[in-house]
Structure 1
Amino acid sequence: MIDYAVYEAETGRIVQTGLTIEAELNLVLTGWGDGYAIYAGVADRSTDYMVDGEPVVRPAQATAIDKTAIAADGVDQATISGAPADSDLTAVNLTTGDAVSGPINEIGQFATAIAGTILLTVSKWPYLDWSATVEAV
């Protein structure tokens, strides 16, 4: 058996990993269409991406937050800095289940009028996602 990874040739994003017999390795690409490639070897789709046909660990973000507790008054805010340009910010209230998302560009502020534990996640390919929890009381 041989480990493999199917990935988007343009971005390096790994879309599938698995095991197959070596004789059928190229058959794994059947159905994926143009724009995909295969790598014979071990790759972790949650932490790696492909660069020049080899798996490389995705870079970490320099994103940071200035505080992890805010008043749930819609005014007090936490400042998120260092996010990659044109990132996506998702805020999920783990207490209520409510979620919102939108763009963030290097620096952003987060405030809420709803109390709860808020999971903030900043996403931008190829960076690893960054997350922090904020207690809104």
Structure 2
Amino acid sequence: MMKPIFFLLSLALLLSSCSGLHSTIQQGYAYQMAEDQAATLVDSIIRSNIVSDRMLPGSKLVASGYDRSLTDTQTYTATAVPVPRQQAFGFELKHEGTMFNGPSKAKRMFRSLNERAALAGRRVSISQ
């Protein structure tokens, strides 16, 4: 009786561990740039990692899309967060789903987003 319960709990833990958030805001920095540049960055990071027919509706500063493999799905959402007092934008990449490689892909996407942002604007501290 304990084996099925242990298996189900382990499976639930594994499936729920495939979500997370990478954030320059939480890390205490942003990049000085125009709103249009920030919008282009979040859109381009999703479009370069997700096939076009799997893009989800977004807004100017939010882009989203998903990957699917059989019954597993992973959704990725890139957001530009305004930091008005610095005339800058922080960036966040959220991922959630059940794909085994979802967390590693999200980490690569966030790294690429940071690299592109560094080319577009100067990194500034937003710590108090």
TM over 0.5: no
Q: TM-score, normalised by structure 1?
A: 0.29
Structure with more strand by fraction: 1
Q: Which has the higher contact order (CA 8 A, sep 6+)?
A: 2
Which one has a bigger Cα radius of gyration?
A: 1
Q: TM-score, normalised by structure 2?
A: 0.31
Structure with more helix by fraction: 2
